Amino acid sequence: MGIPHFLVIPFPTQGHLNPSMQFSHALAKHGCNVTFISTEFNHKRVMMKAASSDQENLLGSKIKLASLPDGLDPEDERGDLQKLLLSIKKTMPSRLPKLIDEINALDDISKISCIVVTVNMGWALEIGSRLGIKGALLWPASATSLSLCDSIHSFIDGGVIDSEYGLPIKSQKIHLSPSMPLMDPKDLPWISLGRIFFEHLVQEMQTCKLAQWWLCNAVHELEPAAFSSSSRLSPIGGPMLASSDYNPTTFWEEDRTCLHWLDQQPSQSVIYVSFGSWSVLDPNQFTELALGLDLLDMPFLWVVKPGNEQYNAYPQEFKGTKGKIVGWAPQKKVLKHPAIACFISHCGWNSTLEGLYGGVPFLCLPIRNDQFVNKFFICEVWKVGLGLDKQENGVISGDEIKKKVELVRGSEDIKAMSLKCKEIVMENMEKEGGHYVRNLNNFIKWTKE
C-alpha cells in the first residue's frame, strides 16, 4: 500500500471550505496526499486572487487543487443554496469517476484511498462505494448538531417534530440522552430550512451512513455527551484550529491592516463584530447595530462584506469614529489578539470554535440553522456569553446591544469560563495521545487497511 491519498470534496460555501482546508493541512502534515475539489467557479475565483507564490506554496506541498463544474452559469447567483445544491447533484456525479481515473493515472503509488465529504456532498460517498473507495464525513458543525440531525427519525417517531417540515409539534424541552442538556425544540438545526431542504437533510443523513467515519470539527471535552451518543463520531476540532492558516479558498481578500490597528488599541478594549460568510443582516438590524456601536463609545472592528450594499446602509446619524470597518478580516488571528474584549457573532460553528480558542466572551445573534444550538451551548452550557434579545418587531435594539456588551464585559464569571474553554481547546490541540492524535492516526491507518 502506497501513501494514503484523500479526495476532499466540500460543499462550496466558506463555512465548509475552511474546515475542509484545515483538515487537508492536518492530513498533509501526517504525510498523506490530498486532492482538494472546488467548483470550477470558485477555483477560478481563488486562483485569480491568489498570488502565484501562494499557489506554488500549496501546489508544491502535498495538497493539490482540482475542480468540477457546479452546473450553474458564471453569472448565476450562488447565494441561493438550494439552487446550488440541486445543480451540483445534477452535474457533478457524472464527472467525478472520470476525475478519479485521471488522478489515479497520474500517480501509481498514491491512488485515491478515501473520499472525504462535508454534508450535502453525500452523493460522492455513493460513487466511492460503487468504485470500492472508502468514505468519511467531515461534519463542519458541532457534534451536538450532528447527533440531532442523526436523530431526526426518532424525533418524528416520538411526535416531537412533523415529518414534512421538521417543525416542533410540542413546546416541551427535549434531550437526546440523559447526559445531554435539555433543549428547546425551536433551536433544532433544521428549523429554518424549509420543506425541500429538510427533505434533503433527511435523505442526506441516510446517505452519510455510507461513511464509516464521521469526523467532527469539534472538541470532545466540550460536548462529551454528543460524542458518546454514537461510536461513529470522532472529534478532530481543536487540532484543525492549530493547522496552517493558509487557505487559498477564501472568497474575499483579507484586510490585514486591521491587525496593525488592533496592535494600537488597549488590551481587551475592542468589540469584534462578524456574521460569517453567508448571513446578511436585515437592514433594520444593520441600522440598530450601527447605532448600538456608536452608543458604546468603544473601539470596534466590524466586518461588513462587500456585495450586500442594498442591506447595509449606514444610518445618517452613524459616526463610527472609534471603529474600523473591513470587508473581510483574518478572523482566527483577530480572535486571538489581546485587544479583543468580546465578539458579537451569528454563532456559526467555525466562529464559535475560533472564539472559544481565542478565549473571547460572546454576544449572540444567531440567524439560522445550527447557530441557535451553538448559541444555546455558548450561553447555557459553557456560559461564555449572553444572548441578545429581540424587541417585538424582531429587531435587537442599539440599547440592548449596549446593555449586553457592558454586562458581558463586567462579568468575571463569563471571562473566567471563556478562559477555561480556551484552555480546554488548547489542551485538546496539544495533548499527545489525546482524542485528536489518536483519532487522526486511527483514521489514516484505517484507510491503509
Chain residues binding ligand UDX by CB under 6 A are 14-15, 18, 140-141, 274, 276-279, 303, 328-329, 331-332, 348-351, 354, 369-371
Distance in Å, CB of 334 to ligand UDX, minimum = 8
Distance in Å, CB of 108 to ligand UDX, minimum = 36
Distance in Å, CB of 384 to ligand UDX, minimum = 15
Angstrom distance (rounded) from CA 432 to CA 304? 39
Distance in Å, CB of 305 to ligand UDX, minimum = 7
Smaller CB separation from ligand UDX, 152 or 193: 193
Cell match 466511492: residue? Answer: 128
User: End-to-end distance of the chain based on CA atoms, in angstroms?
Assistant: 8
Cell match 496539544: residue? Answer: 430
Smaller CB separation from ligand UDX, 112 or 236: 236
Distance in Å, CB of 317 to ligand UDX, minimum = 26
DSSP class per residue in 195-216: HHHHHHHHHHHHHGGG-SEEEE
Q: What does the angle CA 244 – CA 248 – CA 251 come to, to the nearest 5 degrees?
A: 125
Smaller CB separation from ligand UDX, 127 or 219: 219
Distance in Å, CB of 371 to ligand UDX, minimum = 5
Smaller CB separation from ligand UDX, 180 or 304: 304
Angstrom distance (rounded) from CA 127 to CA 68? 15
Angstrom distance (rounded) from CA 223 to CA 217? 12
Q: How far is C-alpha 13 from the chain's CA centre?
A: 9
Q: Quick check: 209 and 224 in contact, CB under 8 A? A: no
Smaller CB separation from ligand UDX, 128 or 361: 361
Smaller CB separation from ligand UDX, 118 or 447: 118
One-letter amino acid of 150: D
Q: What does the angle CA 365 – CA 218 – CA 176 come to, to the nearest 5 degrees?
A: 80
Smaller CB separation from ligand UDX, 102 or 245: 245
Cα 339 to Cα 137, 256, 306, 331, 364, distances in angstroms: 37, 15, 25, 13, 20
Distance in Å, CB of 151 to ligand UDX, minimum = 18
- What's 322's DSSP letter? T
